[in-house]
Amino acid sequence: MGSFKKKDMKAGVLAIIICAMFISIAFSGCTQQQDEEKPEIKNPTTMVRYDIGDAKTLDPADAYDTGSSEPIFQIYDTLVTYEGNNTKTFYPCLATDWSVSDDSLTWTFNLRHDVKFSNGNDFTAEDVKYSFDRVLTMGAPESGVDWILGQCMDTNSTTVIDDYTVQIQLTQSYGGFLALMPYTVAAIVDKDYVEANGGVVAGEENVWMKEHPMGTGPYVLDHWTRATEIVLNRNPTYWGGWEGNHPERVVIKYADEPATRILALKNGDADFTYVPYANLEDVIGEKGIVVHPFDSYDVALLAINTKATNNEFLADGQVRKALSYAFDYDTAIDTAWNGYASRLAGAIPNGMPYYETQNNGQPYYDYDLTIAEQILDDGGYAKDYDLDGTMYRFNGTTIRLFYNAGNSERETMAVMFRAALDEIGILSSIIAEGWPQLLHRMYTTDDWDMMFIGWGPDYNDPDDYISPFIGSADIGQDTYNTGYMNATVDENILEGKYSADSAVRAAAYKAAYDIYIQEPSMIFLVQRQYIRPWRDWVQNYSYNPVREWYYYDYYKAYP
Amino acid sequence: MKTWEFIVRRLLLLIPVIIGVTIITFTVSHVIPADPARAFAGGPKAQPDVIERITKELHLDQPLWIQYFYYLNDIVHLNLGKSYLESRPVVDSLAQYFPATLELTIFSMLIAIPLGIVGGIVSAIRRNKLSDHITRIIAIVGYSLPIFWLALMLQYAFAYQFPILPLEGRLAIGMNAPSSITGLYVVDSIITGNLDTLASTLYHLILPAFTLGFATLALILRMTRSSMLEVMGMDYIRTGRAKGLSERTVIYKHALRNALIPTVTVTGLSFGGLLGGAVLTETIFNWPGMGRFAARAVLGFDFSAVMGFTILVAIIYVVANLIVDILYAVIDPRVKLGGG
């Protein structure tokens, strides 16, 4: 028995040593000295980006999500475009130049003569007309993205003047028209190719075009494996040519797990990847990785339901004004956003035209509970409700703060805001619900008081922000169903929308803002920054909030 | 009851099982007031005509029981609806992801079953010896290690610190998949004679298959060991030895076949479970299989996809159980299918 125990113990010790060796091998790299020399560039002619969220379609006529837009931007061209990080200037692309009539209704585009589609077909004005008419006829059955062109165009708008000139007669003048043109919905398809593959049927998607894109852009589709990757190869007939440094291949990979994406960046499989705020510490300061924040056009808002059935006090603009003073913006930036966000002056994000029309580009409200209390007291909303010895306002009515479950930034902001409301004598509660439940609540009931929401750009014009946020349902806006309506604000918004005169637009947006900010139906929380980690061997990357990822511009090399 | 009658009867049981599964999943996913049509159409940016189209497509403007009737009718016609996350029929998604999961499961089982059974036998016949201790530790480690931790550690060790294995995926970055015949890349590459793809597929299978197989291996190993120990103590084994049979014959001919019944049960159910998708393994290794698809569908409130997935998993379980029952009869001739 004694010898058995001894053998048993020896065996146990040996087994533990084996296990320990296995674990130590796994961890040994943690303490390894990093090689000082630059590592060899992996896949030097292929640009690889790991992201979340696969494309839904590669048909520009029905694409309305960022996952689809990215490959479409590489495969198709538009008449005008943006370059680098510049959002202020429109650059020629398939159009060499353009002009507009004095009444801002007629736009004439002269087209490039040297462009071929990747199948060898010539690009002409017929393709431009066909592309726009196709969008408007198809009606983007899956996404509804046709609304962007439909704002000011119909199927009679585009006229072919000659092979290389098109004229677009707007159904009504629109200040943001040119800003629509670089968006994917205005990408140009080959008429002959589409007609040979299903053509255009009103109200129906073109299944072929969804998975078989063909354009004039720098890349052509090699393959798209759903939930895995989209691989693009050079378009040999690209009119921009292949002189200089450009990737031969582009791979957009999809990986849901942040740890996997981060390791891919660290081991060089990925040249770019998406890293959530919570994981940034894993890449900041890592050798060979550049991490840079950029101001995006994504904004975070707190919508106030001015017709809340549960809370009639929110109908009063003064109450909403007081609530705007009760949000601790700077602390929210530091805590909820890890510092990667900035203050927001109003509906129009910083960087977009006419941003300065909003209080000279400065936030109107700061966190000041004293002012908030003063406004409420002056408005007759004294603390009139005793709850266990603490006095509250609004007869003890609770303001319910909703956010979509799982959104940690919104949860943090809700907790902060609730504490501030408590300090000024307002009872509140926080409710997290699934996204479809929240949408149901917001759009089919008035059974909500305040809701944390967000918005990203469709195109680079303030009309894409100011109209849906502060315009009323009477002019087809009020996207968040807050019930806010001010006829003068609406008039100014429409004036800004339909004028092509920048001075008129600026004056109109300023007038709308000045009225709205005194009775806001939403609290403008923050403008997000996107963090873009990439390998230091990637050159020439630049961030553009309305047209990111243009791989033709990038290349791999050490400086 | 004849074998074929037993199989048909069990397959017919699929009908009430599927009805039960659909009733539960349909009720759970539809009973909460929600606006899936607007969510699928783009949330606040949704256009009214798109919301209306989706509402009609999903019959959301009809009472719940009529919606359910439409759903059942679609299932009968092999239409599981449309995945709004992927903007394509759920059937197409399942057709792509199921073979990926099947391939991973098969390879993980190829690791787990032989190693588990051999390890279990060795552990049992060399009870309390060194090999028993080693296999016991392997089993305990395999059983108790969180699979996501193991997966992340293996990635860290073999795809980053000592980069000898690929980090993720089914194929090398940018590599074309073989022509889809079965959806199993190994089989398709062999059929099409594409050796590069075959090599890449096998290379990419190593880490996820090992991760997934490790936990199953532990289970099979422990089950085989305890079952073998129980059988080895029985009278007929002692009789076999007493009448002079070789130890090899006693173990492999008389003990093992009887000991395998519980192992087969566990293996079969594990196989069925893994075919439903190993969410963590597939997500970490970016394996485009059923588990990752289901997780995305749940997080994206893609009800049709979730329900399609659930129905398929229910079918898999029923079939896996059926195969296990048939295997009982193969292993032990005394077992009569259908209870005789």
DSSP B254: I
Q: What is the pLDDT of residue A8?
A: 53
Could you tell me if B32 lies within 8 Å of chain A, comparing CB atoms?
yes
**Between chains, do A56 and B161 touch, taking CB under 8 Å as contact?**
no
Q: Percent of chain B beyond pLDDT 70?
A: 98
Q: Does A231 touch chain B (CB under 8 A)?
A: yes
CA distances from B195 to A225, A532, B199 (A): 20, 38, 6
Give residue B14's pLDDT: 81
Please tell me the number of Cα atoms within 13 Å of B71 on its side-chain side. 28
Distance CA A385, CA A393 (A): 6
Look at residue B136 and tell me whether its pLDDT is greater than 90: no
A16 touches chain B (CB under 8 A): yes
A433: number of CA atoms within 13 Å, CB side?
A: 20
Nearest to A15 among B134, B154, B161 (CB): B134
The closest CB to that of A260, out of B87, B155, B293, belongs to B155
pLDDT (average), residues B67-84: 89
Q: Indicate the DSSP class of residue A534.
A: E
Residue of chain A minimizing CA distance to B285 = A260
Q: What is the pLDDT of residue A30?
A: 44
Q: Does any CB of chain A come closer than 8 Å to the CB of residue B301?
A: yes
Please answer whether residues B143 and B174 qualify as being in contact, where contact means their C-beta atoms are separated by less than 8 angstroms: no
pLDDT(B332) > 80: no
How many Å lie between the alpha carbon of A24 and the closest alpha carbon of chain B?
10
Identify the residue with better confidence: A478 or B328: A478
Closest in B132, B286, B295 to A255, CB measured? B286
Mean pLDDT of chain B: 89
Burial of B46 (0-12, 13-18, 19+ CB in 10 A): buried
What pLDDT, on a 0 to 100 scale, did the predictor assign at position A32?
A: 46
- Mean pLDDT, residues B193-207: 96
Query: First and final CA of chain A: distance in angstroms?
Result: 71
Q: Say if residues A231 and A249 touch (Cβ distance below 8 Å).
A: yes
Q: How many residues make up chain A in this entry?
A: 559
Ordered DSSP codes for A154-185: -TTSEEEEETTEEEEE-SS--TTHHHHTTSGG
Q: Which residue in the set A54, A144, A263 is minimally distant from B155, CB to CB?
A: A263
The alpha-carbon gap from A440 to the nearest alpha carbon of chain B, in Å, equals 5
From A210's Cα to the closest Cα of chain B, the distance in A is 10
Give the H/E segment covering residue B126.
none
pLDDT digit string (tens) for chain A, length 559 residues? 344 455 555 555 555 555 555 555 544 444 444 446 788 999 999 999 999 888 999 999 999 988 999 999 999 999 999 999 888 899 999 999 999 998 889 999 999 999 999 999 999 999 999 999 999 999 999 899 999 999 999 999 999 999 999 999 999 999 899 999 999 999 999 999 999 999 999 999 999 999 999 999 999 999 999 989 999 999 999 999 999 999 999 999 999 999 999 999 999 999 999 998 888 889 999 999 999 999 999 999 999 999 999 899 999 999 999 999 999 999 999 999 989 999 999 999 999 999 999 999 999 999 999 999 999 999 999 999 999 999 999 999 999 999 998 888 999 999 999 999 999 999 999 999 988 889 999 999 999 999 999 999 999 999 999 999 999 999 999 999 999 999 999 999 999 999 888 999 999 999 999 999 999 999 999 999 999 999 999 999 999 998 889 999 999 999 8
B210 pLDDT higher than 50? yes
> Looking at the complex, does the CB of residue A265 fall below 8 Å from at least one CB of chain B?
no
Q: Is B45's pLDDT higher than 50?
A: yes
Cross-chain Cβ contact A436/B36 below 8 Å: yes
- Cβ contact B34–A437 (<8 Å): yes
**What angle (nearest 5°) sits at the alpha carbon of residue A153, between those of residues A150 and A154?**
90
A14, A26, A480: residue with CB nearest B157: A26
> Which residues does residue A257 pair with via DSSP β-bridges, in sequence order?
none
Instruction: Answer whether A77's CB lies under 8 Å from A88's CB.
Output: no
Partner-chain residue, chosen from A30, A257, A440, that has the shortest CB–CB distance to B33: A440
pLDDT for res A263:
96
B169 touches chain A (CB under 8 A): yes
Which residue do the tokens 């009477």 mark?
A474
> What is the count of residue pairs from A and B with beta carbons less than 8 Å apart?
175
Contacts of A231 in chain B (CB under 8 A): 174, 176
Gap from B73 CA to chain A (nearest CA, Å):
24
Cα atoms found within 13 Å of the Cα of residue A51, Cβ hemisphere only: 17
Question: With helix as H, strand as E and coil as C, how does A309-352 read?
Answer: CCCHHHHCHHHHHHHHHCCCHHHHHHHCCCCCEECCCCCCCCCC
Query: Alpha carbon of A208 to those of A55, A233, A266, B139: distances in Å?
Result: 15, 20, 38, 51
Cα separation, A133 vs A375, in Å, equals: 53
Interface test with B, best of A18, A440, A455 (most B CBs within 10 A): A440
Q: Determine, for residues A260 and B43 on separate chains, whether the beta-carbon distance falls below 8 Å.
A: no
Give yes or no for a contact between A183 and A78, defined as CB atoms under 8 angstroms apart: yes
CB contact under 8 A, A260 and B168: yes
Question: Quick check: B35 and A56 CB within 8 A?
Answer: no
Angle at A332 between CA A330 and CA A333, to 5 degrees: 65
Q: How far is A46 from A554, CA to CA, in rounded Å?
A: 10
A11 to B53: CB separation less than 8 angstroms, yes or no = no
Q: What's residue B299's pLDDT?
A: 82
Does pLDDT of B142 surpass 60? yes
Where does A379-501 have alpha helices with state H?
A: 408-423, 435-444, 463-470, 487-498
3-state DSSP call for residue A397?
Answer: coil
From B173, which residue of chain A is nearest by alpha-carbon distance? Answer: A251
Residue B257 — pLDDT band, cuts 50, 70, 90? confident
What gap in Å lies between CA B278 and CA B292, rounded to an integer? 8
Identify all chain A residues contacting B178, using CB atoms and an 8 Å cutoff.
Answer: none
In angstroms, the separation between the Cα of residue A465 and the nearest Cα of chain B is: 11
Residue from A548, A73, A36 nearest A272 by CA:
A548
The pLDDT of residue B12 is 86
- Asked whether the predicted pLDDT for residue B329 surpasses 90, the reply is no
The predicted structure's pLDDT at residue A18: 55
Using an 8 Å CB-CB cutoff, list chain A residues near B197. Answer: none
Put simply, the answer to whether B137 touches A227 (Cβ < 8 Å) is no
Least confident of A426-435, A490-499, B21-30, B321-330: B321-330
What does the pLDDT read at residue B1?
Answer: 64
Q: Which residues pair with A531 in a beta bridge?
A: A293
Of residues A11, A58, A83, the one with CA closest to residue A460 = A83
Report CB contact under 8 Å: A435, B50: no
β-sheet bridge partners, residue B88: B83
DSSP string of A222-291? EEEETTTEEEEEE-TT-TT---S---SEEEEEE---HHHHHHHHHTTS-SEE---GGGGGGTTT-TTEEE
Would an 8 Å CB–CB cutoff place A269 in contact with chain B? yes
